[in-house]
Amino acid sequence: MADMEKPNTPAFKLPDPALIGRSMADVAERSQRIVSEWLKRQSEEGQPLDPLNIGRAFLEMTTRLMTSPAELMHAQLGFWQDYMTLWQNTARRVMGLDHKPVIEAGPADRRFKDAAWNENEIFDFIKQSYLLSARFVQDVVGRVDGLDPKTAQKVDFYARQFVEAMSPSNFVLTNPEVLRKTAETGGENLLKGLSNLLSDLDRGKGRLHIKMTDMDAFQVGGNIAVSPGQVVYQNDLMQLIQYAPATETVLKRPLLIVPPWINKFYILDLRPRNSFVRWAVAQGHTVFMVSWVNPDERLADKGFDHYMTEGVLAALEAIRKTTGEREVNAIGYCLGGTLLGSALAWLAAKDKEPIKTATFFVSLLDFTESGELNVFIDEEQLKVLEERMHRRGFLEGSEMAATFNMLRANDLIWSFVVNNYLLGNDPFPFDLLYWNSDSTRMPARMHSFYLRKMYQENKLAEPCGVTLGGEPIDLGRIRVPAYFLSTREDHIAPWKATYRGTQLLGGANRFVLAASGHIAGVVNPPDSGKYNHWVNPDLPADPEAWLRDASELAGSWWPDWHRWVSSHGDERVPARDPAKGKLKPIEPAPGSYVKVRLL
């Protein structure tokens, strides 16, 4: 018997007592310090118990739900019938009989990618039980009648947040991949994960600030944001970068890019292989990029109109001085596009037209259907936010980042909880996630104006609904040709909402819809061979009608944009060297403003 071959069993490594002792002593010391700092800050900031105003929304939902008990009973019966079918199918599977799943995860759901979720009957049961419960919760929430649209949206959003948080993949004892790793390492993965968790809490000063990538793997100006150029102008709010040419001749009209100041500009200049800046330069554009400052309390009183005058208008004047050109093409990305539209309307009110074509990357001009960000913008939440900004002078960048991450919680929160804290892995180096983690602040006055006048009141879409720089502005007075680029899976600026901009501007407009989302659909170089796009020269009032008649084309939309902008002016001149312009270079690209980090 002693010589009999032992059956194959997974190796279980015994934990190292010395390692555990050292780790737990470190945990105790760090935890005490983090909790003390967090409690001190909570006391100083006077945080309300329900800053997101979730309680009132769910109370209203529950009240409405109780008035229709038959609907609730119907949902419960359906849930229990599905659950009994799951039990029966699991029993059949244990006995080796044919079975089929009651419910399956979606093809894009990466939480259950490990083979054990399907191959092991216990984990398959856990998975299906969770999916049934998740469907039940969302079904009940969706059945509630009589809620106003904003409350219904908030209830649906936070019910989904709860459902995603409760996924069995997020817990040690119900995640087969984590259990396997724990057995293989003797629990060292959990100790490493606890250390990772404390490090993230430490970096966030008591708030969880998840490390999404190896922050030491990238350096702005070192291996990202490396397109050559010079900062040729700067003021309190921005630096203006002029990029070096890559062709002997260039288009006569320079190209001004206005990025959002919610994030940093180098999303358009990450690596040479996916840099829109480098590609545009190679097509013969003289590219100027606005690099916004990362503001602190000294800029608390900077408003949206300052971003227009000291941003867009100052950039136009600097371009005129250094190149001698009075006409430019302009691109606005996201909030930068909202600012560009505002500036165009302001210029139209002054009977000026230095911008001859305007391009809007995933930009909202009409905020009627502005997506799930509306969940965070009701009167109660705005008051709490404004009080917090008034004390500091700005909105902390990490708070803005946390809001955006919640819109894609499975991908941007829970996947990292599993990888970093349960599996004890270090995050993978990824340039896009480095950029996503490079947060920026928002000046108090500007951000309050933006949220109230645009998201909450939608005044920008009204003729003369907003006054900037002393001038009531009307988007309908804009007559320059405009190119609208939106993305089909955008969770920040939904494409049907951005499409409304084509109905507001009075010029010859073109709308193009790209596949993927707010970032990947925009940063999609032709060489990648990814993500199709849709075109349709007609612009009916209904975006669905536009899509029904649109033609789907393979690959990137970048060449389509270049053909469009060139069709409105293709005269060429000798290439412009930023070191030899009328404005003396201040420092090499990417400049110093973009390098100011919060953590």
Q: Which of 226, 267, 334, 589 is catalytic?
A: 334
Antiparallel, parallel or unpaired: β 442-443 and 394-395: antiparallel
CB 303 within 8 A of CB 398: no
CB 121 within 8 A of CB 91: no
Query: Which amino acid belongs to residue 541?
Result: A
**CA separation for the pair 566, 443 (Å, rounded):** 37
Q: Which DSSP letter does residue 239 get?
A: E
Antiparallel, parallel or unpaired: β 238-243 and 229-234: antiparallel
Antiparallel, parallel or unpaired: β 482-487 and 509-514: parallel
Chain position carrying tokens 């102008």? 233
The β-bridge partners of 231 are: 241, 587
Question: Which tokens is 575 given?
Answer: 């290439």
Query: Which amino acid belongs to residue 555?
Result: G
Query: Which amino acid belongs to residue 528?
Result: S
Question: Which run of H or of E encompasses 446?
Answer: helix 444-449
Residue 331 three-state SS = strand
Q: How many CA atoms lie within 13 A of 285 on its CB side?
A: 23
Closest CA to 446 of 310, 545, 277: 310
Is 464 an active-site residue?
no
Bond before 590 cis per omega within 30 degrees: yes
Distance from chain centroid for Cα 16: 42
**CA separation for the pair 90, 96 (Å, rounded):** 10
Closest CA to 506 of 472, 536, 475, 485: 475
What's the per-residue H, E or C state across 411-462? HHHHHHHHHHHHCCCCCCCCHHHHHHHCCCCEEHHHHHHHHHHHHHCCCCCC
Report in angstroms the alpha-carbon separations of 56 from 132, 155, 402, 451.
27, 10, 22, 21
So which residues are the catalytic ones?
Answer: 334
